[in-house]
């Protein structure tokens, strides 16, 4: 089972007014996510998004979409291994991804396939995973901001929160 899938984005987290006029990248949001299998991190990522997003909801949704571009091929590989008989005690036959989101707007956008005037510009690029949500192969769940482990990749944390997230992510 491919869980948990955690991601987070800091909306324009590197924006600095003193250099914004000469460095447009300060307006970009940072995405961070972890893809784990049986509690073991397989992929982790922290990088600036390639485009400037217009809201926190859009930045979070872009992070969700990008993380699922890494997750869906892993799910397909696990399903193919299962179908070919490569199952063992450590492989669970049901391939499912559980994704966690702390932004209610991105959560609603991911779960409800309805276009809104303020979000239609992201339709083609970032809705690629909706068929997986519709077929219940991926479920999206709300997680509290203090419980968002992927924050470790997107913002400075106090020592206690950093240690808590590191323990959840790595087991130490």
pTM: 0.76
Task: Output the 3-class SS for the chain.
Answer: CEEEEEEEEECCCCCCCCCCCCCHHHHCCEEEEEEEECCEEEEEEEEECCCCCCCHHHHHHHHHHHHHHHHHHHHHHHHHHHHCCCCCCCCCCCCCEEEEECCHHHHHHHHCCCCCCCCHHHHHHHCCCHHHHHCCCEEEEECCHHHCHHHHHCCCCCHHHHHHHHHHHHCC
Q: How confident is the model at residue 154 (pLDDT cuts 50, 70, 90)?
A: confident
Q: What structural domains and CATH numbers belong to the chain?
A: 2-170 (3.30.420.10)
**pLDDT on residue 25:** 64
Lowest mean pLDDT among 47-56, 92-101, 153-162: 92-101
Q: How confident is the model at residue 160 (pLDDT cuts 50, 70, 90)?
A: very high
């Amino acid at each position: 089972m491919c869980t948990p899938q955690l991601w987070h984005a800091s909306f324009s987290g590197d924006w600095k007014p003193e250099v914004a006029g000469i460095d447009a990248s300060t307006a970009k949001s940072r995405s961070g996510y972890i893809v784990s299998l049986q509690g073991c991190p397989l992929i982790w990522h922290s990088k600036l998004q390639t485009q400037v997003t217009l809201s926190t909801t859009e930045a979070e949704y872009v992070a969700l979409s990008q993380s699922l571009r890494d997750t869906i091929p892993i799910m397909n590989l696990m399903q193919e291994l299962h179908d070919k008989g490569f199952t063992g005690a450590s492989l669970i036959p049901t391939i499912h991804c559980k994704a966690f989101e702390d932004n209610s707007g991105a959560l609603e956008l991911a779960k409800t396939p309805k276009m809104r005037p303020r979000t239609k510009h992201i339709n083609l690029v970032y809705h690629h995973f909706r068929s997986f949500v519709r077929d219940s192969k991926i479920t999206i769940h709300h997680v509290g901001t203090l419980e968002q482990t992927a924050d470790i990749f997107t913002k400075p944390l106090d020592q206690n929160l950093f240690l808590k997230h590191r323990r959840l992510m790595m087991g130490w």
